[in-house]
Amino acid sequence: MINWMKRLNQALPGLIFGILVYGVLIELVGVWFVKDKIRYTTGLIFGIGCAVFMAIHIAMIIEESVRIGQGHEKYLSFKSVMRYLIVCAVMILMMVFKLGNMFTALIGILGLKVSAYAQPLLIKKLGKTNNDISEENSEELNTKEVKV
């Protein structure tokens, strides 16, 4: 699964990892302060799920825009708008069927932003520089060429 994500976008596994860590931290901290723990948790799960979906979809749109080139801006814009409409539909369904807390769902969706801003700090903390990452990519490409 991680190799598939790395092929799609090098930053995607780290981004999703950051979203999941953020979700766990928000769950562990916040669940003690609310009365309805189940709706708090389910809302957060829906929000984190939406954030992961959005991260994967954004990576797919970036890859697709590079592949098809210029001249298809309306198509790519349509796909981006569809991403937000799907998230809005999930939020509306949550509200109608009372599947979770809307506030924690929004907090979960913000995990995408938090993870995106925290990713450079995590890479720096883990000791990986851009040179290390590019060396890993070149080694990965060399092994793929040998296998083919």
Q: What is the mean pLDDT of each run of 10 residues along the chain (148 residues)?
A: 73 93 96 95 97 95 85 86 96 95 96 94 73 52 44
Going from the C-alpha of 147 to that of each of 97, 119, 142, the distances in angstroms are: 51, 32, 9
Question: Which pLDDT value is given to residue 123?
Answer: 81
Going from the C-alpha of 136 to that of each of 13, 95, 123, 132, 133, the distances in angstroms are: 14, 45, 14, 6, 5
Question: Which pLDDT value is given to residue 131?
Answer: 52
Question: Which pLDDT value is given to residue 139?
Answer: 53
Pick from 117, 2, 133, 124: which is nearest to 56 by CA?
2
**Strand segments (E) across the chain:** none
Question: Which pLDDT value is given to residue 117?
Answer: 95
Question: Which pLDDT value is given to residue 135?
Answer: 53
Q: Is 36 helix (H, G, I), strand (E, B) or coil?
A: coil
Question: Which pLDDT value is given to residue 10?
Answer: 85
Question: Which pLDDT value is given to residue 111?
Answer: 97
Going from the C-alpha of 17 to that of each of 72, 115, 116, the distances in angstroms are: 31, 8, 11
CB-based contact 130:10 (threshold 8 Å): no
Question: Which pLDDT value is given to residue 92?
Answer: 96
Distance CA 3, CA 21 (A): 20
Question: Which pLDDT value is given to residue 76?
Answer: 86
- Quote the tokens at residue 8: 């799609």
